[in-house]
Amino acid sequence: MVDSSPASAPAVDALSWASRRGMGALAEKMGMRFVEFSIDRCVATMPVEGNTQPVGLMHGGAYVVLGESLGSMAANLHAGEGRLAVGVDINATHTRSATSGVVTGVCTPVHLGLSITVHEIVVTDDQGRRCSTVRITNHIIDRPTR
């Protein structure tokens, strides 16, 4: 399946593109949902329940999966038709632990180049408190032909 990217399209079209494309099987299992999607800002939510450590805290890896899903999707939107963004670096700093409710990831671009993108994803809890900051770098390549 080849997805065309509406990189210059309005936010509604980009959200439609992202919803059709989906975030992938892992993101679906974790309960992620798109809220907003554009070149300048992507937002998704994820429930804490089902994504916790044995002691009931949101798993740090779950924050990273949310961040990588948003950042990679945003980079692919920027890449445009015939190109593909692939992750080359990710890091996260966890500053708070959500224990219930829903977390929200807000992804904004730091750099949108021809071959490299960098996005920052801030993950907050239901009270708007920052729980994690994720930064992802993607390399943009030509989509391989099959």
pLDDT of residue 10: 53
Q: Which of 65-75 are b and which e, b meaning 16 or more Cβ less than 10 Å from the residue's Cβ?
A: bbbbbbbbbbb
| End-to-end alpha carbon distance in the chain | 10
Please answer whether residues 67 and 121 qualify as being in contact, where contact means their C-beta atoms are separated by less than 8 angstroms. yes
Q: Note the pLDDT tens digit of each residue in 52-94.
A: 999 999 999 999 999 999 999 999 999 998 999 999 999 999 9
Please answer whether residues 93 and 133 qualify as being in contact, where contact means their C-beta atoms are separated by less than 8 angstroms. yes
Q: Which CATH superfamily is domain 36-142 in?
A: Hotdog Thioesterase (3.10.129.10)
**Catalytic position from the list 28, 49, 68, 120:** 68
Reported as a pLDDT band with limits 50, 70 and 90, residue 20 is confident
Q: Note the pLDDT tens digit of each residue in 4-18.
A: 444 544 555 877 777
- Is residue 68 among the annotated active site residues? yes
